[in-house]
Amino acid sequence: MRRTEIPHAFKVPSPSSGVPEEAASPRPTRNTLLRFLRLEERSMRMSVIEWLLDSDPSIRWQVMRDLIAESDATVARERSRVAAEGWGARLLDLQGSDGHWGGAAFVPHAWISTKDTLQLLRDLGVDPTSDRVRRAIDQVRDRCT
Protein backbone atom coordinates (compact mmCIF):
# COMPACT_ATOMS: atom_id res chain seq x y z
CA MET A 1 0.00 0.00 0.00
CA ARG A 2 1.08 3.53 -0.70
CA ARG A 3 1.74 5.65 2.36
CA THR A 4 0.78 9.31 2.34
CA GLU A 5 3.64 11.82 2.38
CA ILE A 6 3.82 13.71 5.68
CA PRO A 7 2.96 17.37 5.03
CA HIS A 8 5.77 19.86 5.57
CA ALA A 9 3.87 21.46 8.43
CA PHE A 10 4.24 18.25 10.44
CA LYS A 11 7.98 17.87 9.89
CA VAL A 12 10.05 19.09 12.82
CA PRO A 13 13.50 20.38 11.90
CA SER A 14 16.33 18.45 13.47
CA PRO A 15 18.79 20.39 15.63
CA SER A 16 21.52 19.60 13.12
CA SER A 17 19.57 21.04 10.17
CA GLY A 18 20.69 24.56 10.98
CA VAL A 19 17.14 25.91 10.72
CA PRO A 20 16.25 28.03 13.72
CA GLU A 21 13.11 26.76 15.43
CA GLU A 22 11.34 30.08 15.01
CA ALA A 23 11.88 29.87 11.20
CA ALA A 24 10.30 26.44 10.98
CA SER A 25 6.68 25.99 9.89
CA PRO A 26 4.14 26.91 12.55
CA ARG A 27 2.71 24.12 14.66
CA PRO A 28 -0.21 22.44 12.93
CA THR A 29 -3.63 23.06 14.34
CA ARG A 30 -5.59 20.23 15.89
CA ASN A 31 -8.01 20.19 12.92
CA THR A 32 -5.16 20.04 10.41
CA LEU A 33 -3.61 17.12 12.27
CA LEU A 34 -6.93 15.27 12.52
CA ARG A 35 -7.60 15.80 8.79
CA PHE A 36 -4.16 14.40 7.95
CA LEU A 37 -4.69 11.37 10.19
CA ARG A 38 -8.07 10.66 8.56
CA LEU A 39 -6.47 10.84 5.09
CA GLU A 40 -3.66 8.53 6.21
CA GLU A 41 -6.12 6.04 7.73
CA ARG A 42 -8.26 6.06 4.58
CA SER A 43 -5.26 5.41 2.33
CA MET A 44 -4.15 2.46 4.49
CA ARG A 45 -7.58 0.91 5.02
CA MET A 46 -8.59 -2.07 2.90
CA SER A 47 -12.10 -2.41 1.73
CA VAL A 48 -14.04 -5.26 3.29
CA ILE A 49 -14.09 -7.06 -0.07
CA GLU A 50 -10.28 -6.77 -0.39
CA TRP A 51 -9.89 -8.08 3.14
CA LEU A 52 -12.15 -11.07 2.46
CA LEU A 53 -10.35 -11.82 -0.81
CA ASP A 54 -7.02 -11.74 1.03
CA SER A 55 -7.93 -14.84 3.02
CA ASP A 56 -8.53 -18.57 2.70
CA PRO A 57 -9.87 -20.11 -0.54
CA SER A 58 -12.93 -21.29 1.40
CA ILE A 59 -13.88 -17.64 1.93
CA ARG A 60 -12.63 -16.28 -1.41
CA TRP A 61 -14.80 -18.50 -3.60
CA GLN A 62 -17.95 -17.49 -1.71
CA VAL A 63 -17.05 -13.79 -1.92
CA MET A 64 -16.46 -14.19 -5.64
CA ARG A 65 -19.82 -15.91 -6.10
CA ASP A 66 -22.01 -13.92 -3.72
CA LEU A 67 -20.50 -10.42 -3.51
CA ILE A 68 -18.61 -9.62 -6.69
CA ALA A 69 -20.43 -11.87 -9.20
CA GLU A 70 -17.38 -13.49 -10.78
CA SER A 71 -17.95 -15.95 -13.61
CA ASP A 72 -18.89 -19.52 -12.75
CA ALA A 73 -15.55 -20.73 -14.13
CA THR A 74 -13.58 -18.37 -11.88
CA VAL A 75 -15.61 -19.37 -8.83
CA ALA A 76 -15.18 -23.09 -9.62
CA ARG A 77 -11.42 -22.63 -10.06
CA GLU A 78 -11.16 -20.90 -6.66
CA ARG A 79 -13.43 -23.44 -4.98
CA SER A 80 -11.23 -26.28 -6.25
CA ARG A 81 -8.37 -24.81 -4.21
CA VAL A 82 -10.20 -25.47 -0.89
CA ALA A 83 -9.04 -29.11 -0.81
CA ALA A 84 -5.50 -28.23 -1.88
CA GLU A 85 -4.59 -25.32 0.41
CA GLY A 86 -5.71 -23.49 3.50
CA TRP A 87 -8.18 -24.73 6.09
CA GLY A 88 -9.74 -27.43 3.88
CA ALA A 89 -6.37 -28.95 3.06
CA ARG A 90 -5.34 -28.84 6.71
CA LEU A 91 -8.49 -30.69 7.77
CA LEU A 92 -7.95 -33.33 5.08
CA ASP A 93 -4.34 -33.72 6.26
CA LEU A 94 -5.58 -34.51 9.78
CA GLN A 95 -7.55 -37.60 8.75
CA GLY A 96 -6.18 -40.65 10.52
CA SER A 97 -5.04 -43.81 8.78
CA ASP A 98 -8.17 -45.49 10.14
CA GLY A 99 -10.29 -43.00 8.17
CA HIS A 100 -11.45 -41.10 11.25
CA TRP A 101 -10.90 -37.58 12.43
CA GLY A 102 -10.70 -37.26 16.21
CA GLY A 103 -10.57 -41.01 16.70
CA ALA A 104 -14.26 -41.80 16.21
CA ALA A 105 -17.23 -41.31 13.94
CA PHE A 106 -18.94 -39.17 16.57
CA VAL A 107 -17.51 -37.69 19.76
CA PRO A 108 -20.18 -35.87 21.82
CA HIS A 109 -19.38 -32.26 22.73
CA ALA A 110 -15.88 -32.44 21.25
CA TRP A 111 -16.25 -30.99 17.71
CA ILE A 112 -13.35 -33.16 16.52
CA SER A 113 -15.15 -36.25 15.27
CA THR A 114 -15.38 -37.55 11.73
CA LYS A 115 -18.98 -36.34 11.47
CA ASP A 116 -18.07 -32.82 12.61
CA THR A 117 -15.05 -32.59 10.33
CA LEU A 118 -17.01 -33.76 7.30
CA GLN A 119 -19.68 -31.15 8.10
CA LEU A 120 -17.02 -28.44 8.38
CA LEU A 121 -15.45 -29.48 5.07
CA ARG A 122 -18.88 -29.20 3.49
CA ASP A 123 -19.41 -25.76 5.06
CA LEU A 124 -16.04 -24.60 3.72
CA GLY A 125 -17.29 -25.57 0.29
CA VAL A 126 -14.80 -28.29 -0.54
CA ASP A 127 -15.57 -29.68 -3.98
CA PRO A 128 -17.01 -33.19 -3.41
CA THR A 129 -15.78 -34.31 -6.83
CA SER A 130 -12.11 -33.52 -6.18
CA ASP A 131 -9.80 -36.54 -6.06
CA ARG A 132 -8.51 -35.68 -2.61
CA VAL A 133 -12.02 -35.43 -1.14
CA ARG A 134 -13.14 -38.64 -2.89
CA ARG A 135 -10.18 -40.50 -1.34
CA ALA A 136 -11.05 -39.14 2.13
CA ILE A 137 -14.71 -40.15 1.73
CA ASP A 138 -13.68 -43.60 0.47
CA GLN A 139 -11.56 -44.07 3.61
CA VAL A 140 -14.53 -43.11 5.79
CA ARG A 141 -16.82 -45.48 3.93
CA ASP A 142 -14.34 -48.40 3.91
CA ARG A 143 -12.91 -48.05 7.42
CA CYS A 144 -15.40 -46.19 9.61
CA THR A 145 -18.70 -47.91 8.87
- What is each CA distance from 133 to 39, 70, 79, 136, 138, in whole angstroms? 47, 25, 13, 5, 8
Give per-residue pLDDT as tens, 9-43: 444 445 555 555 544 556 667 777 777 667 666 65
Domain ranges of the chain: 8-43, 51-143
- Give 109 or 8, the one with higher predicted confidence: 109
How many beta carbons lie within 10 A of that of residue 59, not counting itself?
Answer: 19
Taken in order 129, 133, 137, 139, the sign of the CA dihedral is positive
Average pLDDT of the residues of the chain? 81
pTM: 0.65
Dihedral sign from CA coordinates of 19, 21, 22, 23: positive
